[in-house]
Structure formats: C-alpha cells, structure tokens
Amino acid sequence: MTLTAEAPPTLRSLLHVGCGMPDPRKLPPAFFAPGEWREVRLDLDPGVAPDIVASITDMAMVETASFDAVWSAHNLEHLFAHEVPLALREFRRVLRPGGFALITLPDLQRAAELVAQDRLAEPAYVSPAGPIAPLDMLYGHGAAIAAGNHFMGHRTGFTARTLEAALVAARFDAVRVVRDDAYALWATASVAG
C-alpha cells in the first residue's frame, strides 16, 4: 500500500490596489473564504504599509499575468480622466488568464439625480467614514480632504455606461456593471482563460 500526503491547497492571489490602512473588512465577502485567497496590498502611500508601493497607473514591479484577481474600491475616481485607461490596462496586464477585476466606485448618475433635486450637501447614505453627500461623491470625501488627506480628492467619475465603455476599451473580455443601493457602481471584468 502506498500512502500519499494530500497536497496543500493552492491559494489564489488577490492584488488589492489602493488598499489604504490594513483592514480585512475592506475586502468583499468573496475574498474572505479561509484558505482560498492570499491578499497582496498595493498603495501609493507608504504610510499605510502596503506590500507594494506603487501607483495604479504604473505597476511595473508587478509581474504580468501574476494575479487571479484585482480588487479596486474607490480608486479610479481619484485619477485624472486621461489616467484611467492606464490603470485599467495595468489591472488587465497583471491578471492571469481566467482572472478578473472587481471594481467599485460612486455612481455619478445617481449623484446627479440628487443634485437635480437640490440635495447636493444632504447625506445620501452613511459609510464607515461617516455621512456621504452627493458633493462627496462628485469631488471626494470632504471631511478626509479637510483633515489633510488630499489623496481623497476626486478627479473623474463614471456612470454605469461610461465605466463599462472604459473596461471594454481596456480590452477586458467580459464586462458587467451593476448599481447597488448605496449609490455605487460594481464592475466585474475578466480576462479570457
């Protein structure tokens, strides 16, 4: 009789871009599965102690086709519009065949509806950072910016249609964008396997 040891499971790799301070609650539930995902944190701010210090527009130190997933929560809106294609191409470049990007950011169409109702400064919802008004969705979280965190300023924005178009232009193979109840867009964009 031959005895064999069961091989340890292979962890899938997640590149968490624009990660901010370490906090596992910043990951979507899909990435909480114990023993399935290994998070690698990338941020341009060395003060948040990322694994990789880099901008999402230039991740040259990240090997091509080296990650199974890229998670980007509220990062693209902090770029200038002309930088967004660079970031999305970088997301796609670092993904393995069969990999995917999961992206969330403010839904400016819904924010604009509130602005049209003259509710620019009224809280639309409460986030872990506090109340969020359409003004924050358009220009960045005012309280954080006032406290000196200028990384929180917004320089561009998206509707569901424009986010989908940007992902298609970045040559993702399958793209899906949906709205949630908290004034956010959620996009999944995959690379063919």
What is the reported pLDDT for 7? 46
Q: What domains are defined for the chain? A: 12-106+156-190 (3.40.50.150)
Given a cut of 70, whether residue 99 has pLDDT beyond it is yes
Residue-wise pLDDT tens digits, 12-33: 999 999 999 998 888 998 887 7
> What is the mean predicted confidence (pLDDT) over 46-52?
96
DSSP line for the chain: ----PPPPPPPEEEEEET--S--GGGS-GGG--TTTEEEEEEES-GGG--SEE-BTTB-TTSPTT-EEEEEEES-GGGS-GGGHHHHHHHHHHHEEEEEEEEEEEEBHHHHHHHHHTT-TTS--EEETTEEE-HHHHHHB-HHHHHTT-GGGB----B-HHHHHHHHHHTT-SEEEEEE-TTSEEEEEEE---
Structure tokens given for 183:
């004034």
Given a cut of 80, whether residue 108 has pLDDT beyond it is yes
**Residue pair 67/96 in contact by the 8 Å Cβ criterion:** yes
> What is the mean predicted confidence (pLDDT) over 24-51?
90
